[in-house]
Amino acid sequence: MKHIQAGKYRHVITVQRKAETVDPATGYRTWEWSDLLVNEPARWQPGPGREYLAGEALRSEVQGRFEVRWSPVSEALTASDRILWDGRVYDLKSDPLLDETARREVTLMVGTGVNDG
């Protein structure tokens, strides 16, 4: 049986979800980010970055992944959520990837530089 080593989760992230709010007096709709996971221990794994031309502007995208412990909340994250870490905003590029047991770790594929929320 493989055990998770607590020391590998040496980074701390916050995961947020965008939610619509409606002012009851005016009916005006706004979008706000709310915290789903706060001070979540995570492991950062950098991945390859890329640069490309979009709309006549050079854009860059840093890619990598965060590994977090499995929980019902971490499994329910979606590609529309975002991660705050080390002063940066990372967009989730896909729904969470579960480990082989589906109850130990969740991998969150992320990128930044195109849409930082």
Q: What band does 103 get if pLDDT is binned at 50, 70 and 90?
A: confident
- Structure confidence by residue, pLDDT tens digits, 57-75: 555 565 889 999 999 999 8
Cα(66)–Cα(17) distance, integer angstroms: 17
CA dihedral sign, ordered 31, 37, 38, 39? negative
In the predicted structure, residue 18 carries a pLDDT above the cut 70:
yes
- Structure confidence by residue, pLDDT tens digits, 6-17: 578 889 999 999
Question: Could you give all domains of the chain from N- to C-terminal order, each with its CATH number?
Answer: 9-20+29-112 (2.40.10.370)
11 DSSP β-pair partners: 42
- Structure confidence by residue, pLDDT tens digits, 82-100: 999 998 999 988 888 888 7
